[in-house]
Each structure stands twice: as structure tokens, then as C-alpha cells.
Structure 1
Amino acid sequence: MPTTNDNHPQTVMGRVLLLLEPFRESAGLTLTELAARTGLPRSSAHRMLLQLVGVGWLRRHGATYHLGPKMVELGSLAQNYDRVHRAAVAAMYQLHRRTGSAVHLAVLEGDELLYLEKIGGRWAAAVLPTHAGQRRSARETTDGAALLACRDGGAPAVREHVAGQDRGEPVHCVAVAFNAGHGEIAALSLTGPAGRMPESAVRDLVAAAGLVAARLGAPSGLLAAGGPSA
């Protein structure tokens, strides 16, 4: 993408994308915060923010900007029509009901993982700082370690990991990466308080991964699982 001498994107779309990117990590941001994070002049940032509010991509409450209804709608449509998400979501709800654990669906993009879905109850909402649409370094999570092992040709395996403390209670996570077809690698994972995950959890997770792979028309064999904590 062409840039100006100060490394700011030159095209209008480039500047818009630069302005929207910080909302990946923050639900609400002020003009001052957005200008600081993007390096855009306040006047330019303010002008674009007003335009984005006008078309519904952003909304403003007081001095704080949030993603608007149009962005939420488009994001929901993208999620609903994503082939991996559609193939996995029913199995994810079943896994959550059977195990009581939080269930994540992620795909690998370069050296990052992208969460496509998170299903869990109050514990997951309070303890796990993850959400659909979030990107993280693949090397930081169990899901990512499984995805990388799968991409790099690791041997089939299931490795559970217990780490971290939630009010004195360790967190238990296990992930399974599988072939999603069309050159994509996906992972399903279970995360919950250690000691509360049922004995059948790993077996149920592996079965669910095989079912999703079959729905996607990909080989159903388990490819890789395990790594650091979620």
C-alpha cells in the first residue's frame, strides 16, 4: 500500500482501516486515544470518525467511540457464512453441555491464531480474556501450539496442560488441531478449572474434531494437540 513520508497510509481505505484496527483490543476509545494509537493527526482522525459514525460503522457515546451497528451486522454475517464456523458451532455447543468447559474454535493465520467462536458460561466470561475475532500469537496458547504442530507436520498427539491460577484454582486446557480443508487448519479446545473437567473430555473433544473435519470434507484423523496454557 502506498504510504506518505511519515509512514501513514496514503489511501482513504488505508487510513480507515488504520483507525478501526485499535478496536480489536478495546471496546471503546476516545479521539485522543485513537490519534495516539494510529499516529494520525487529531483533525484527520476526527473528520474520519464523524464520517464513520454517519454511515453506522462507529457510534459515539459522549467522548468515546465504539463499533457501530453496521460493523456488528457485517461481522455477524461473515461469521455466519464462514464454512469452518458453520461446520463446528453445533459440536461446540454439545461439547460445552457435556463437559461444562469453555469451548474455543480457532484457525491459524501465519504465526497468529484467530478465534472464530467462544462458547462458555459465567466462568469463561469472568476468567478467560478471549473473544471471537481476537488474534493472539500462536505460541502463547494451547490452541496455537496445536495449530503450529499441525502446520509443521507434528505427530498425532493429545497433550493436556494445567497452568495459571484463578483465585487459587489452576486452569486446565486441551486442544486438538485438525485439517479443515481448502488449505486451512482449525483447532477446537476445552478450557476449565482443573479438577472439574470430566474424564471423558479429551475423548469427546477428539470425536468432535473428527466430526467437524468430516463435515468440512477433510480427513478426520487427529493431527496434533497440546502446548502452553490458554
Structure 2
Amino acid sequence: MTRTAEFPDAVIARVAGLLDEFHSGDHLTLSELSTRTGLPRSSTHRLLTQLAEHGWVSKRGKAYALGRTPLEWGALARNHDRLHRAAHPVLHDLHSATGLVVHLAVLDGGDVRYVDKVGRGPLALPSRVGGRLPAHRTALGKALLAHTRLDTARAAAGCLPAGTVRVETLLPRNEIAHIRERHIAHEREESTPGVACVAAPIGNGRTCAGALSVTGPVEAVDTVGLATPVRLAARAVWRALSQNDSPQHAD
């Protein structure tokens, strides 16, 4: 293996080693980190500077500590894990009842990020766990945007405060109102030709933890008939989340 091929792995190992030193929450100086990791002082300083630029570490005086980014990622991972654990059995039940592919997703910027996927259909779908699709082109995204505060939804859809508005990512107000009223969203061949989807938000009207959907060929997706089972599944996930948050289920 060439030095060029080894370099990326070496950098990752060095970054991981630096971040591991903060596991106890200590504030550490450049000299301490260089000594603990065995890295040259100049290399340690260069890596810390880059990590600080991206929020992975913060600097106070001469000491470094973990920044906001790993804490935010940790909270996000815990929330996604809670949602996944609460929803997974419900997704399987919904798949068994409908025979359609079932998705679980959350809003991530102007996209939906898929947290879980159950079942396989006759058509190739662009969705995969961990993958993203534009929110405004999916029923999941529409359900999430409509049940997020409008100012937050506009920001999530990519509207910039300087006046650069990505209008194409916003839902029309009448569609938002319709989705909020029925607690159901539809998509027909907007993300993939030949595919339709029915989605519902997971929440209580004030908080939206995510959304779930059923997806399949256009001719197999009865948007009217599927509305009730999809809504009921979303409510079941929300109940499971709420029960897990109650004192008797605290870890």
C-alpha cells in the first residue's frame, strides 16, 4: 500500500485519538494532548484548529474541550434510536397489513432522512436507511414540513435570511393546511416514476418526532383506504414514545 493510500486512514486514526482524550470531559492543553496521543505538537495543533472550525472541539484560553458538534450528534443519535426502537415493531405490523414498503423518516435540513425501512416491493425505490431525499418531493417530507412550525419549515426548506428564497422547496399554504387538517400527506410519482406514497406525522400536534409512510406502485396504493391505517400506526408510535418517556420507564 502506498503512502498516499495510507494517509486518509492515518488522519482518521489521529482525529479519533484526539477526540478519545476528551472522554472524561476534561479541558486539556495542546501540550497535554500532544503528550497523551504521541503526536507532534505541530500536527496536534493543526488537527485541533481544524476540529475547532467544525465545532468538534472548543478552545478556552490555552485549553481545549469537546465542542457542540459531538454533543449535538450524540443527542440526535439518541433521539433517532428512541424513535427507531418505538417504531420498528409498528412498521412491521403495518407492512404485514398492507403488503407495502414502510418507511420511517425525520426532517434533516431541506431533506427527509430515512431512519428505518421495512419490506421490499416490485419497484426499485431510491430510499435507503440513512439516505436522504428532498422533503417537498416525498409524502414523508410533506407530513413533516406541514407539522413543523411554519418559520422552522421555511428554514428547513432552505429559505435564506438574506432574501435568497428557494421557493420550489416550500409547500403551498393550502396544501400545508390540508395536511394539518387530515394528518395525512400524499405523493404520486413526485420522487420516483410509478410510485405513490401515503404518510402521517408522529406527534401530538405540538411536537413532531418524525413521520412514517407506506409506499408502492401507483396502482397498489389506495390513498383513501390507507389513510386510516397509516394514521393509526403513527399514533401507535407516538404512544410508545410517550410511554418510554414516562417516569416508570426511565433508565
- For the superposition of Structure 1 and Structure 2, which TM-score range results when normalised by the shorter chain? 0.5 to 0.7
Name the CA shift for 1:181/1:90 in 2 (closer, same or farther; >3 Å). farther
- Alignment RMSD, CA only? 3.7
* Contact in 2 for aligned 1:180/1:186 (Cα 8 Å): no
Letter in 1 for 2:231: V
Q: Which residue of 2 aligns with 1:132?
A: 129
Cα displacement string for residues 83-125 of structure 1 (whole angstroms, at most 9, x for unaligned residues): 10011111101111111111000011332221100111252xx
Normalised TM-score (structure 1): 0.54
% identical aligned pairs: 34
Unaligned 5+ segments in structure 1 are: 1-30, 32-41, 54-77, 219-230
**Which ranges in structure 2 are unaligned for 5 or more consecutive residues?**
14-76, 151-175, 244-251
Partner of 2:8: 48
1:17 equivalent in structure 2: none
Higher RCO (CA-CA < 8 Å; seq separation 6+) = 1
CA 1:106/1:150 → structure 2, altered by over 3 Å: closer, same or farther? same
Aligned residue pairs: how many?
Answer: 152
The reply to whether residue 120 of structure 1 matches residue 146 of structure 2 is: no
Output the CA distance in 2 between the equivalents of 1:150 and 1:182.
Answer: 8
Q: Within 5 A, what are the aligned runs for 1:69-88?
A: 82-88=81-87
Are residues 192 and 137 of structure 1, via their aligned partners in 2, closer, same or farther at CA, if it must alter by over 3 Å?
same
State how far apart, in whole Å, the 1-side matches of 2:89 and 2:220 are. Answer: 23
**Cα gap change, 1:122/1:80 in structure 2, threshold over 3 Å: closer, same or farther?**
farther
Q: Is the 8 A contact 2:83 2:209 kept in 1?
A: no
Are positions 1:187 and 2:211 aligned together? yes
For 1:18-57, list aligned pairs within 5 A.
Answer: 43=4, 46-49=6-9
Query: SS at 2:189's partner residue?
Result: strand
Q: Is the 8 Å Cα contact of residues 150 and 178 (structure 1) preserved in structure 2? A: no
8 Å CA contact 2:105–2:114 kept in 1: the answer is yes
Partner-residue secondary structure (3-state), 1:116: strand
User: Which residue of 196, 212, 215 maps to 2:240?
Assistant: 215
Q: Which amino acid aligns with 1:145?
A: K
Distance 2:190 2:144 in 1: 21
- Quick check: which one's strand share is greater? 1
Deviates more, 1:134-143 or 1:152-161: 152-161
Q: Which residue of 2 aligns with 1:149?
A: 146
Do the aligned partners of 2:137 and 2:191 also contact (CA within 8 Å) in 1?
no
CA 46–141 in structure 1, closer or farther in 2 if over 3 Å, else same: farther
- After the TM superposition, which of the residue ranges 101-110 and 149-158 deviates more from structure 2? 149-158
Which residue is 1:228 aligned to? none
- 1:181–1:217 contact (8 Å) kept in structure 2: no
Q: Between Structure 1 and Structure 2, whose CA radius of gyration is higher?
A: 2
Structure 2 length-normalised TM: 0.50
Query: Corresponding residue for 2:164?
Result: none
